[in-house]
Amino acid sequence: MRRVVCPGSFDPVTNGHLDIIGRTSRLYDEVVVAVLINVEKKSLFTVDERIATLEEVTREYGNVRVEKFYGLLVDFCKQQGIPTIVKGLRAVSDFDYELQMAQLNYRMSGVETLFMSTNPEYSFLSSSRLKEIARYGGDVSGLVPDLVHRMLVERLRG
């Protein structure tokens, strides 16, 4: 069985994230979406909210499982028996950072990292930018799943 992990904080999940997850799900038998628990970062949504949201918006794929993890991603990969990480790249700036992480991860554990270029339609998306736009009343519909849009409006605009 070919298994892969798609990691991230997903605070919140965007259509760009879903594009990478969906395309990856067509290439692998099982995709584990790994939601990072980062106690140092103030998140808009709790880990449990992010997991529930991801489970709902990835349900159609059938071979996607959502898990949370804390600590090193390569330790999570070893515990789960997953040999490969897939990361979406939006721009060259993403590549600079992700290449270093991929090389470190491989050196530490032998876990491979594959890069998937983001669909140009989503190349400008980031969760933090979307939260900022929504916080100031901007329209982010079409950039996030409808469920996430409703959650953002409720959380940020009350």
Task: Report the catalytic residues.
Answer: 17, 41, 90, 127
141 labelled binding-site residue: no
Tell me if 54 is assigned to a ligand binding site: no
Q: Is 72 annotated as a binding residue?
A: no
Q: Is 17 annotated as a binding residue?
A: yes
Where b means 16+ CB within 10 Å and e means fewer, 77-105 reads beebebeebbbbbbeeebeeebeeebeeb
Confirm or deny that 41 is annotated as ligand binding: yes
Q: What is the SS3 string spanning 33-85?
A: EEEECCCCCCCCCCHHHHHHHHHHHCHHHCCEEEEEECCCHHHHHHHHCCCEE
Q: Is 131 annotated as a binding residue?
A: no
Q: Is 142 annotated as a binding residue?
A: no
* Cβ atoms within 10 Å of 63's Cβ, excluding its own: 15
Token look-up 């692998």 returns: 28
Query: Is residue 56 marked as binding?
Result: no
157 is in an annotated binding site: no
User: What DSSP designation does 141 have?
Assistant: B
Query: 73 a known binding residue?
Result: yes
Tell me the C-alpha distance between 45 and 62, whole Å.
Answer: 25
- Rounded to the nearest angstrom, the gap between the alpha carbon of residue 122 and the centroid of all alpha carbons in its chain is 13
Binding site listing for ATP? 9-10, 17, 88-90, 98, 122-128
Binding site listing for substrate? 9, 41, 73, 87
Binding site listing? 9-10, 17, 41, 73, 87-90, 98, 122-128
